[in-house]
Structure 1
Amino acid sequence: MSSERPVTVVDQGEVLGGLFASWDAIAALLANASEEQWRTPTALPGWDVHDVVAHIVGTESMLSGIATPEPDIDLGELEHVRNPIGAMNELWVRSLRGESGAELLQRFGDVTGRRRAALAAMSTEEWNAPTLTPAGPDSYGRFMRIRVFDCWMHEQDIRDALGRPPADSELTGPDSRLSLDEMAASMPFVVGKKGKAPDGSRVLIALTGPLAREIRVAVDGRAALVEDFGGAEPTVAITLDGLQFTRRAGGRPPMAGRSDAVDYQGDAVVAAHIVENLAYVI
């Protein structure tokens, strides 16, 4: 396919390292889970831990060329299915609900094993080729960075459901860093479109804790990520824990055991409106 806009070029080895680390973390987290734990509800409407893993299995199966299951009900009747992507996800979730946790974990290992081999064998040209992604037309590599983000977020959903929040040391790997890279790429949309920051705004989002970083968005006709503000001070500064930032941006409740406090500096009205509209994930 062709794309009118330039594609995002990301390092193949780096992204695959993050994706494989995320799959490994999920497998380790659930290795000894009881059937009751597999059926624990998560913060995602309508889904328990089993459903979250089934969703990941379904996506990787689809990317392996396996046909999507046929619907067994009218998905429009389900309140938590709000768009075509959600409907496709639900088809896989429903088709795998009859499997035990152990069976699903085996399936997870099988499909991610096949995906590891296929992704590692991709040429640079294939990796950088434009394709359709959940963020619109972009490179296949960007698509896989989105997969890191999706799998990492779901690992945190599982941890939240099971009462096993991550230790600081579990938030320092490539999967965490790449997930934040992906989220940072969406902050111009959050700040400019959803947060409606006025022209001339210089917004600093300062993350603390093991996911510490600074995300800068300048609004000059349109919002864009910038390395710095050219020596100018931010008009808005928002400071919060990095993990809680990911929870807010993902439309999830706070993770237990970490402060969810948010500090505003500068234009408090604009800052509050941005924070109120941080959730952007479909």
Structure 2
Amino acid sequence: MNTLQKEPILEALFEGWEALDQVLSPLTGDAWFTPTPLPGWTVHDVVAHLIGTESLLEGIPAPHTSIDVRSLGHVRNEMGAFNEQWVEGLRGCAGWEMLEKFREITARRRVELARMTDEMLAAETTTPVGPAPYLRFMRIRVFDCWMHELDIRDALGVPGEEGDRRANIAFMEIGDAVGYLVGKRGKAPDGSRITLELTGPLARDIHVVVDGRARVVDELPAEATTTITLDSRLFTRLAGGRTTAVEHPDDIRLTGDTTTGKRIVDNLAFTI
């Protein structure tokens, strides 16, 4: 796992909030209700989720809703139900109100994070990936905010930077999951040597060996048995469950053991 460093993570989180503010500030009227790649969620709903998660971290309870959010088709687990409470609870707010609420809660979070000591940031807490240091949770927040910024940009057709420092920190959350995605979800057989060749703004090679279990390594001990080549922008959206490999047959190149390669790209989604 990558070493957690306070300053880069918190600075990336603050930059993410600023980037979201810049994307949302020009929106008026129906633009707030543009559907995003997330099933059942508009731009308004995504922002409600972001407000809700930061509110949770400030100890603010979710609003009461008049409907059973667990009955909604796109709610698959308790985390999804919690998110949907905020989506439903803020549904009646106008766009400008949502932006103000987002600014208010992120301002509070800045103050709270600024006062936290190294010991507090290192303390174990409950996170979406299980017990982990609070600072790891903040790196997950960088990833979540970055992914949702991409959701909003994709929905609105507003391009953004996908290869800066913030993107690289957010991408660590995906990188840490690659072994699981290749071994458990992709079911790469024992003895496999997989290389993911990413092009584009987050260009890099990710190597995985399967020897009892799948793990990411700096270099393969021998030639890759399967090589998967695709743009990092597509890889990010596949890992986030925003699209599927079937929808991009001409954008993914497989060489070597293509059966394993196809199974891997068909099972890259790992977000809740």
Alignment match, 1:100: 94
Matched, 1:39 2:39: no
| Letter of the structure 2 residue corresponding to residue 61 of structure 1 | S
Deviation of 1:32 (Å)? 1.0
Given the alignment, which residue of 183, 187, 195 partners 1:196? 187
Deviation of 1:71 (Å)? 3.4
Q: How many Å separate the matches in 2 of 1:182 and 1:138?
A: 13
Q: How many aligned residue pairs are there?
A: 269
1:1-282 alignment runs, 5 A limit? 9-166=3-160, 170-230=161-221, 232-253=222-243, 261-282=251-272
Deviation of 1:74 (Å)? 1.5
Deviations 1:140-159 (A, max 9, x none): 11111111111111001101
Deviation of 1:97 (Å)? 1.1
Unmatched 5+ residue regions in structure 2?
none
Deviation of 1:227 (Å)? 1.3
SS at match of 1:136: coil
Q: How many Å separate the matches in 2 of 1:172 and 1:259?
A: 24
Q: How many Å separate the matches in 2 of 1:184 and 1:20?
A: 22
Q: Is the 8 A contact 1:240 1:260 kept in 2?
A: no
Q: How many Å separate the matches in 2 of 1:105 and 1:213?
A: 36
Deviation of 1:174 (Å)? 2.1
Percent of matched pairs sharing the same residue: 51
Q: How many Å separate the matches in 1 of 2:250 and 2:29?
A: 31
Q: TM-score by structure 1 length?
A: 0.91
Deviations 1:172-226 (A, max 9, x none): 3222111111101011111000000011111111111111112122111111121
Q: How many Å separate the matches in 1 of 2:143 and 2:186?
A: 22
Q: How many Å separate the matches in 1 of 2:70 and 2:201?
A: 41
Q: How many Å separate the matches in 1 of 2:2 and 2:200?
A: 28
| Letter of the structure 1 residue corresponding to residue 72 of structure 2 | L
RMSD over aligned Cα, in angstroms? 1.7
Change (3 A) 1:173 1:279: same
SS at match of 1:234: coil
| Letter of the structure 1 residue corresponding to residue 169 of structure 2 | L
Change (3 A) 1:84 1:116: same
| Letter of the structure 2 residue corresponding to residue 241 of structure 1 | D
Q: How many Å separate the matches in 2 of 1:125 and 1:229?
A: 37
Q: How many Å separate the matches in 1 of 2:167 and 2:2?
A: 19
Q: How many Å separate the matches in 2 of 1:15 and 1:259?
A: 35
